[in-house]
Structure 1
């Protein structure tokens, strides 16, 4: 299990398993966001299975699937709302963590500067420098 800490509010990673969810609760995470579409995973990693594991561990759970390259306005708004409303810290995952990080970055437009977004992502191992002009608007 990877812990790619973006900031004190959000950590992202690659796919996790139901058995690892308890470890997240033990480390103090309060919310689990699943950004991986069910069509990409085996049944044992489906959103229903992960939600059950999260609830059993005492975590809030949100399924916000991100199809590769499809960062819709609704998805970005839902991520922004989740980060504002749900208890943190938050742990989000997808196949590699990149979609979770990118969705967070797009949800931060107007909240953080483009340079802050890129810097925080880089600190977690994600290079969003190609997005800096878009993040600036």
Structure 2
């Protein structure tokens, strides 16, 4: 599972994941998968939701376009992460969107405002990196 990076006991990130990686996640005790990719993105896995659910994992797809990330979009993603059973995997095509969202989620859980967390992600170059990745 070279593409999956554990961030803490609750969250991991990845780029596009393969069916064997989903199976391994389920075996490791993960409970949820949040896919930030849009169905019209090249390489989107149409069967990911069904396969994830067959493995007994909770699945959500919250398409988040690189060029549209702003505090309002981030809030929707952070709310989805908060409500998902943990541990959870957050993924997109390259992991850029996933890491930006996970770091903002962790920051807000530590008491930082969403605006400050978003600014922090911008200052670290995460939002810029996300914006430079083509959807």
TM-score by length of 1: 0.72
Structure 1 counterpart of 2:124: 129
Q: Given the alignment of the two structures, is residue 55 of structure 1 paired with residue 50 of structure 2, yes or no?
A: no
Worse-matched range after superposition: 11-20 or 50-59: 11-20
- Matches of 1:14 and 1:65 in 2, distance apart? 14
Q: Give the aligned length.
A: 119
Structure 1 counterpart of 2:82: 84
Q: Which runs of 5+ in 2 are unaligned?
A: 127-135
Whether the 8 Å contact between 1:64 and 1:75 is mirrored in structure 2 is: no
| SS of 2:102 mapped into structure 1 | helix
- Matches of 2:99 and 2:67 in 1, distance apart? 13
RMSD: 2.8
Q: Given the alignment of the two structures, is residue 15 of structure 1 paired with residue 16 of structure 2, yes or no?
A: yes
Q: Which runs of 5+ in 1 are unaligned?
A: 122-127, 132-137
Worse-matched range after superposition: 70-79 or 29-38: 70-79
Structure 1 counterpart of 2:132: none
- Matches of 1:111 and 1:26 in 2, distance apart? 27
Structure 2 counterpart of 1:26: 27
Worse-matched range after superposition: 96-105 or 57-66: 96-105
- Matches of 2:83 and 2:97 in 1, distance apart? 21
1:88-127 → structure 2 map (5 Å cutoff): 88-112=86-110, 113=112
